[in-house]
C-alpha cells in the first residue's frame, strides 16, 4: 500500500519546480538555441504536428493490435510520442559539445530547456487523442456513468475524465524520462512494464483499502448529520466514495509527474557523464523514501 502523505509531498514539491521552470523559461539563456537544435526552426509547430501525428497513429494502432495480449495496457499515442521525444532529446544531449558545457551551475537551465517545451506538446496530444480515436472508429471517451442524479453524475463523469487525463500525463512523463535516460531501450521498456504492473497492483490495494474505509466514514458522518437533518439522499455515499477515489488517483499521478521531473533534473549531469541512468529506480526512491525526508525543490543557481 502506498504512503499517501509521501506522494502528496512529492506532488507539491515537483509541481512547484515545474511552475518555477515554466515562469523562468523566458530568462533561460539556453532555451532558444536548444529548441532549434532539437525540433528545428519552428519548434512549436513541429511539436504540435508530432503530437497530433502520434495521436492519430496511436489510435489506429489500437484498432489493429487491440486484440493482442496486454495491448489494452498500453496507451499507444503516449508510447509513440515518448519515443519521438526521447530520440530527439538524446540526439542533442549526446551530440558532442553539449556534455562539455554542463556543470553544477547550469544543468537545471539546460534541463528546463528540454523539458518545458514538452508541456504544451503533451496538452496537444491529450486534446487531439479523442478526435483521433473518433477518426479511427473508436469511442472518444470511455465513460462509466454512476447511478446518481443527473447533476451529481455529470460531476462524477467530469472528475473521472480528469483522472484519466492526469494518468495519461503521468504515463507520458515517466516514459519520456525513462527512454531519454536509458541507453538500452529494450531494457527500458521491460522495466516500464514491470514497474507499471507493480504500480497498478499497489495502487489497486490502496484504493481497495480506501473503498472499505470511505463508506464507513460516510456512514458515521451521515449518522451524525441525521441527528440534525431528517433525511439525507442514499446516493451521497456513492458520490463521496467515487470522488475520494478520483482525488486519490489524481494526486498519485501528479506525484508521478512531479517526481519524474525532479529526479530527471537532478540526474542530468550523471546521464551526460555515464550515458545511462536508471531513472525508474530513482523515481521509486523519491516516492517511497522516508517520511521525515521532506522533499524540497531544487533551485538553479542561474534561475529563480
pLDDT per residue as tens, the chain (304 positions): 567 788 889 999 999 999 999 998 878 777 788 888 899 899 999 999 999 999 999 999 888 886 665 666 778 899 999 999 999 998 888 876 776 777 777 888 889 989 999 999 999 999 999 999 999 888 877 767 667 777 878 888 888 888 888 988 999 999 999 999 998 888 888 888 888 877 777 766 766 665 555 556 656 666 665 555 555 666 776 777 778 788 888 888 899 999 999 999 999 888 888 888 988 888 888 887 644 444 444 433 334 4
All three cell numbers of 279, joined, read 531513472
Torsion 178-183-188-189 (CA) sign: positive
**The pLDDT value given to residue 47:** 95
Name the percent of the chain in helix, strand, coil, to the closest 5: 75, 0, 25
pTM confidence score: 0.82
Residue 94's pLDDT is 82
Determine the pLDDT at residue 224: 62
> Which of 302, 264, 297, 299 minimizes the C-alpha distance to 30?
302
Contact call for residues 31 and 113 (beta carbons, < 8 A): yes
Residue 111 CB burial class (10 angstroms; 0-12, 13-18, ≥19): buried
Alpha-carbon dihedral sign for residues 196, 159, 123, 8: negative
Between the alpha carbon of residue 157 and those of residues 130, 149, 211, 234, the distances in Å are 16, 12, 18, 19
pLDDT of residue 75: 85
- Tell me the C-alpha distance between 234 and 192, whole Å: 42
pLDDT of residue 208: 64
pLDDT of residue 261: 95
Amino acid at each position: 500500500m502506498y504512503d499517501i502523505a509521501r506522494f502528496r509531498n512529492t506532488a507539491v514539491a515537483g509541481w512547484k519546480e515545474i511552475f518555477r521552470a515554466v515562469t523562468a523559461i523566458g530568462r533561460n539563456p539556453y532555451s532558444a538555441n536548444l529548441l532549434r537544435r532539437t525540433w528545428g526552426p519552428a519548434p512549436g509547430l513541429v511539436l504540435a504536428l508530432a503530437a497530433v501525428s502520434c495521436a492519430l497513429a496511436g489510435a489506429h494502432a489500437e484498432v489493429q493490435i487491440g486484440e493482442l495480449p496486454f495491448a489494452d495496457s498500453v496507451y499507444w499515442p503516449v508510447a509513440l510520442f515518448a519515443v519521438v521525444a526521447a530520440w530527439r532529446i538524446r540526439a542533442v544531449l549526446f551530440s558532442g559539445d553539449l556534455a562539455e558545457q554542463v556543470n553544477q551551475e547550469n544543468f537545471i537551465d539546460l534541463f528546463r530547456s528540454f523539458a518545458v517545451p514538452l508541456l504544451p506538446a503533451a496538452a496537444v496530444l491529450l486534446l487531439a487523442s479523442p478526435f483521433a480515436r473518433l477518426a479511427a472508429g473508436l469511442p472518444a471517451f470511455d465513460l462509466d456513468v454512476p447511478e446518481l442524479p443527473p447533476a451529481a453524475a455529470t460531476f462524477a463523469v467530469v472528475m473521472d475524465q480528469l483522472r484519466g487525463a492526469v494518468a495519461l500525463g503521468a504515463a507520458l512523463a515517466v516514459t519520456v524520462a525513462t527512454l531519454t535516460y536509458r541507453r538500452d531501450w529494450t531494457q527500458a521498456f521491460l522495466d516500464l512494464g514491470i514497474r507499471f504492473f507493480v504500480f497498478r497492483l499497489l495502487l489497486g490495494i490502496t484504493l481497495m483499502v480506501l473503498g472499505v474505509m470511505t463508506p464507513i466514514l460516510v456512514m458515521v458522518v451521515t449518522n451524525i448529520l441525521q441527528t440534525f437533518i431528517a433525511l439525507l439522499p442514499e446516493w451521497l455515499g456513492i458520490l463521496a466514495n467515487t470522488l475520494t477515489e478520483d482525488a486519490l488517483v489524481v494526486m498519485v499521478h501528479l506525484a508521478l509527474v512531479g517526481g519524474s521531473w525532479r529526479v530527471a533534473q537532478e540526474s542530468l549531469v550523471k546521464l551526460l557523464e555515464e550515458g545511462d541512468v536508471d531513472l525508474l529506480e530513482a523515481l521509486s526512491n523519491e516516492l517511497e523514501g522516508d517520511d521525515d525526508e521532506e522533499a524540497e525543490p531544487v533551485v538553479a543557481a542561474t534561475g529563480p
